[in-house]
Structure 1
Amino acid sequence: MTTRDKLLGLTVAVLWGLNFLAIRAGLNHFPPFFFAALRFLVIAVPVVLFVPQPKVPLKWLLLYGFGFGFLQFAFLFSAMHIGMPTGLASLVLQSSAPFTVILGALLLREHVGRRQWIGIGVAIGGMVLIGWDRAVDPTGILPTRSGASLLPVVLTLLAGLGWAFGNLGSRLAQAQRPMQLMLWMTVVPPLPMLAVSAVVEGPGTGWAALGTSFSGSGWPALAGLAFIVGPATLVGTGIWTYLMGRYSAGTVAPFSLLVPVVGIGASWLVLHENPSVVSLIGAAVVIGGCAWGFRKAAGPAVATIGTPPLVRPLA
C-alpha cells in the first residue's frame, strides 16, 4: 500500500471516529428513531432522483438496507440515547466483525480458520469484560449501577449484529459498483424508521424537533447531521470503496480498528468521557483480538469485515 493510500485509510478512520461525536450532537436534540430516519432520508431523496438503481437481486438489497441501515442504527441510536458512552459505542460496534464471520460460517458455509476463531474468542472476551464493568461495581461484588447501564451495551451489540446481517446482504448482492449499492441501501431504512418513530416517539415529535433545529440552540444537531451525511458517509465511504477496490480486504480492514481509538480519544477530549480502566482493558482486548485474528486472513469471510462500520459508521 502506498503512503498516500495509507494516509487515506487513516483519514477514513478519523472521519468515522469523529462521526460518533456527530451522532451525539444529533441525539442531544432529535429523538433517536427520527434522527436515524433523517440521516438516511437526506441521502435517499437525491439517490432515487439521480443515481441508477444497482443491478442486484432486490432481496439482497433489502437485506443490506434492513440490516446495515435499519437494525444497526435503530439499536445504536437507542443505546446512545439511553446512556451508552459515545467512545465506548464506537468500540462495541466493532462486534460486527466477529458477528460477520460467525454468520458467514453458519449461513453461507464460509471457511473460518483456527486463527480467526481464536481472534473472535478473544474479542468476545473483551466485550464480556466491558459488559461486566458496566453491570457491577469496581470490586465485582455489589451492583452499583442500574440494569439500564448494561442495557445500552446489549443494544450496541445488537447494532453490531444488525450490521453483520447487512454485510451478508452486501456480499450476496455481488454488486459490480459497490458505491452505487451503498447509496441505494439508504433508500430502505427511512420509511420503516419513520413508522417506528411515529409509534414509539409520537407522530409529531421528530418533526417538531426538526423545526426547532433551525433555532440558535439546534445548530449543533444540524452540524452533526451534515457531518454524518457528508464527510462520514459520502467522503469516508467513497475513499473506503476506492481502497477496497485496489487492495485485499485483509490489507484495508485493519484501518477500521482505529475507529474506536479515534472515537474514544475524541470523546475524552471533547465530551470529557472518562472510561474506566476495566473498559479500556476490554477495548484493548477487543481490538487486539480482531487485529491478530484477522491479520493474515483472506477470502470471502474476511471481505465482509472491511465493509464500512457506519456507512458512517455510520460508525
Structure 2
Amino acid sequence: MSPRHLALAIGLAAVWGFNFVVMEVGLRHFQPLQYAGFRFALAAFPALLFVGRPPVPWRWVVGVAATLGAGQFGLLLIAMRAGMPAGLTSLVLQVQALFTALFAVTLLGERLGARRVTGLAVAFAGLALVAYDFGLSGPVGAFALCVAAAAAWGLGNVLQRKAAPPDSLRFMVWVSALSAPPLLAMSLLVEGPPSLVAPVEGWLSLGYVAFVSTLGGFGVWGWLLRRYDASTVAPYTLLVPVFGISSAALVTGEPISWVSLVAGALIVSGVLWAGTRGRAQRTEAAALAADGSASATRVSASSSWDADRNHAS
C-alpha cells in the first residue's frame, strides 16, 4: 500500500477500535437486535433518498447486507449482551482476517504468498498473547457467537471485493437499507416492541456507529478493497483490538499490562509486513505504470463492469 492508503487503513482501525466502547454504552439502553436495526436504519435514511440506485447488481447488495450487516452485527451485539466484554470482543472478532483470507483463496483464487503468511502469523501471535493476558472469561456461547460474527464478516469482505462498487458510500447506504428491516423484524419477534426512550448517550452511541463507523468506515473499507486484494486489506483490522484496548483503558480505566503492549507491537509489525509490498514488487509496479499497463488494466476493468451492469439491468 502507498503511505496515504496505509494511514487510511490504520485510521479506520482506530475508528472501529473505539467503536466497541461506544457499542457497549449503547447496549445499556437498547436491545442488541434493536440497536443493530436502528444503526442501519439511521445509516440508510434519509441518505437513501438522494443516492440513487445501487452501483452494483442487486445480488451483491443483498449478499453483503446478509453477511456484513445482519449477520456480523446481529451476532456481535448478541454476543456482547451475552457477556463478551468490549476489549475481548474487539480481539476475538479479528479472527475475520483468517476467514477473509480463506474465503479469498477458495472463492476468488487469490494467493497469499510467503510475505503475507509470515505477517499474519506474527500478528496472530500477538492476538494469542492478548487473549492469554485477558483470559477467555466470557460465556462459551457468547464466545462462539463472536467467532460466527467474524466468519460472517470474512465472507462479507470477499463479497464486497467481488462486487467492487465504484461508489462505496452509495453501496453502503443500500447495504444498510437492506440490513435494517430483517434486524428490526427479528428484534420485534425476539425482544418485543422497540423502545425509543433512551438518554442522550444512547442516541449519541447510535449516531457514532451509524454515521462514523458504518457509513464512513465501511465506505473507506470498500474503497480499499476495490484497490487491493482482500487478503492485503483484511490484516489491517488486526489493529482494531490495539485501539479497542487502548480506548477502553482511556474511557473506562481498564489497565494495560506489559503483555498487551508486547502483543500490540507484534500485531502492528505483522500487519505492516503482510500489507506492504516488497521493494521488487514496488519497482515492478512502477514500471507497469510507466509503460501504460496500469491504464490498460483500468480500461479493461471498466469494460467488465459495464458488461456486468448491462447484464444485471
Distance 1:34 1:276, change over 3 A: farther
What is the 5 A alignment of 1:1-315?
11-123=11-123, 148-202=138-192, 204=193, 207-208=194-195, 210=196, 212-213=197-198, 218-238=199-219, 256-274=237-255, 288-296=269-277
Does the Cα contact within 8 Å between 1:250 and 1:295 map onto a contact in 2?
Answer: no
Distance 1:281 1:6 in 2: 22
> Which runs of 5 or more structure 2 residues have no equivalent in the other structure?
286-313
Distance 1:172 1:92 in 2: 25
Distance 1:240 1:159 in 2: 17
Distance 1:168 1:8, change over 3 A: closer
Q: Percent identity?
A: 37
> Which runs of 5 or more structure 1 residues have no equivalent in the other structure?
137-144, 300-315
Displacement of 1:30 after TM fit?
0.5
Distance 1:290 1:151 in 2: 29
Displacement of 1:244 after TM fit?
6.7
Does the Cα contact within 8 Å between 2:168 and 2:223 map onto a contact in 1?
Answer: no
Distance 1:151 1:234 in 2: 30
Displacement of 1:160 after TM fit?
1.3
Distance 1:38 1:187, change over 3 A: same
Q: Which whole-Å deviations, capped at 9, do the CAs of 1:235-273 have from their partners, x for residues lacking one?
A: 444555666778888987676444322211110121233
Q: Which residue identity lines up with residue 179 of structure 1 in the other structure? A: L
In structure 1, the partner of 2:305 is none
Query: Which deviates further from its counterpart, 69-78 or 152-161?
Result: 152-161
Distance 1:287 1:151 in 2: 30
In structure 1, the partner of 2:311 is none
Does the Cα contact within 8 Å between 1:61 and 1:169 map onto a contact in 2?
Answer: no
Q: Which residue identity lines up with residue 24 of structure 1 in the other structure? A: E
Distance 2:9 2:127 in 1: 25
Q: Which residue identity lines up with residue 95 of structure 1 in the other structure? A: V
Displacement of 1:116 after TM fit?
2.9
Q: Which residue identity lines up with residue 268 of structure 1 in the other structure? A: A
Distance 1:50 1:275 in 2: 45
Q: Which whole-Å deviations, capped at 9, do the CAs of 1:135-167 have from their partners, x for residues lacking one?
A: 67xxxxxxxx5xx53433332222111111111
Aligned length: 280
SS at match of 2:254: coil
Distance 1:184 1:259, change over 3 A: same
Q: Which whole-Å deviations, capped at 9, do the CAs of 1:53-104 have from their partners, x for residues lacking one?
A: 2242222221111111111101211121122221232232222222111111
Distance 1:177 1:198, change over 3 A: same
In structure 2, the partner of 1:308 is none
User: Larger Cα Rg: Structure 1 or Structure 2?
Assistant: 2
Displacement of 1:188 after TM fit?
1.9
Displacement of 1:27 after TM fit?
0.6
Displacement of 1:42 after TM fit?
1.2
SS at match of 1:296: coil
Distance 1:289 1:25, change over 3 A: same
Query: Which deviates further from its counterpart, 284-293 or 239-248?
Result: 239-248
Distance 1:97 1:253 in 2: 5
Distance 1:89 1:30 in 2: 18
Displacement of 1:185 after TM fit?
0.9
TM-score by length of 2: 0.74
Larger proportion of helix: 2
Q: Which residue identity lines up with residue 97 of structure 1 in the other structure? A: A
Query: Which deviates further from its counterpart, 151-160 or 61-70?
Result: 151-160
Does the Cα contact within 8 Å between 1:27 and 1:35 map onto a contact in 2?
Answer: yes
Instruction: Give the aligned CA root-mean-square deviation in angstroms.
Output: 3.5
Does the Cα contact within 8 Å between 1:119 and 1:293 map onto a contact in 2?
Answer: yes
